[in-house]
Chains A and B, each alone.
Chain A
Amino acid sequence: MKKFRVLIGVAILYVSLFVLFPAKGQESLFNTWYYIKEMLEIMPVILVLTALIEVWVPKPFIEQHLGESSGLKGNVMSIILGSISAGPIYAAFPISLSLIKKGTSIENIVIIISAWAVVKVPMLANEAKFLGFKFMSIRWACTVIAIVVMGRLAKRFVSKQEVLEHIKSQENERVVSKKIQINERTCVKCMLCVKAMPELFEYNGKVLITSLLDEIDTKLTDNDFVQSLNNVADRCPVKAIEMQLSLE
């Protein structure tokens, strides 16, 4: 429910706005539509790109070119990467997340996000048109230098470990379903697993992994838990429980 807090607040705001100042309400909606359109134009692309990075870009490649020891070359790569992109700053977040996981340094992530926000070719042309070429090129040069310095400063304040831990805690739910999966095509819904381990498996039209198991990593170090999990997987008549566990 926490996720919907902003949305609910906004709904209340708009309803009262339309009751009290209908003209303002209309104007607000009109403004919002511009941003919504911008979002709809870019987010599907971001979705695809994030997935493609996940599948195709090997971790060592990212580590070498954008990682901790990529140096100035990595910075330049990051600026190019950020500036060929399009869309508002939040569109940079999903892609940056997958790049961090693949081994990009904090320094370069800050550079990518900042360049994404500022250095864009259509925007530069627009700025030159209204404020002059000299103004635009000097501001652009100053900004690029500032972005690189910012990246290098940021890594002194924020350790990559902290960010990775945060990402991991946000992702726990997804981690669970990646480690243990139920093959929907072979599952015959015999309910054996649901009955044996109701804390892990649930039935909702199909057999699912419960999402509430936040502590899966600590559970997996628990011998009894792992034992019963292995038992259940063995007893599944069609072997539909697929596990990718590295168990010690």
Chain B
Amino acid sequence: MTVGLWSVSLIALLFSLYKKPLETKSALGMASKMIKNMLIQIVGILFLIGFMLSMLPPELIKGVLGSSNQLFSTVAGALLGSVTIIPAFVAFPLVASFLKLGASVLPAIAFLTTLTMVGIATFPIEKEAFGLKFTLVRNGLSFVFAIIIAFSMGVILR
């Protein structure tokens, strides 16, 4: 996927530089200025996530997802997914192993959904790009819908 994207965008860039050199250069300059500003924040946040991940043992996730009260553990699963950023290919086997051990499926779904859609960690970057209100609304809606998705899947899968 990444290799494909790189080659497509490089070819497109060369074509663009050939056809509209001035516009392309000025647009590149503007975009790089914007992204440079963002990167300073992103790098700091990535280091923070790396730190959090080393402090957050998988047992905690298991404890939250495995709680007996379904509503509580679903909301807790959604919360946990919001604050953590785990690569999805790590999250899927992790969740699968909990489910095999008998953990409930609702909190697992809520966790998986907020994991990717809600970003407490990326909140500052999103806020700077789109403003506080947009960021609050988008993340808030994602959180609520993660729980709705979990419960509707609970009904469908039953």
Contacts and interface: CB of A to CB of B under 8 A. Distances in A.
Nearest to A143: B149
Contact of A43 (B33, B35, B128): B35
Max chain A C-beta neighbours (<10 A), residue from B9, B13, B26, B51: B51
A80 to B, nearest CB: 15
Contacts of A17: 51
Contacts, number: 225
A126 interface: yes
A51 to B, nearest CB: 4
Contacts of A143: 113, 149
Size bracket, chain A contacts: 35 or more
A48 B9 contact: yes
Contacts of A178: 26, 30
Given A89-B116, A94-B31, A142 B153 contact: yes
B117 interface: yes
A123 B88 contact: yes
A113 interface: yes
B101 interface: no
Interface in B19-77: 20, 23-24, 26-28, 30-35, 37-51, 53-55
Max chain B C-beta neighbours (<10 A), residue from A36, A100, A126, A142: A142
5 contacts: A6-B48, A31-B49, A162-B134, A163-B130, A170-B129
Interface of B: 1-2, 5-6, 9-10, 12-13, 16, 20, 23-24, 26-28, 30-35, 37-51, 53-55, 85, 87-89, 92-93, 95-96, 99, 109, 112-113, 116-117, 119, 122, 124-126, 128-131, 133-134, 137-138, 141-142, 145, 148-149, 152-153, 156-157
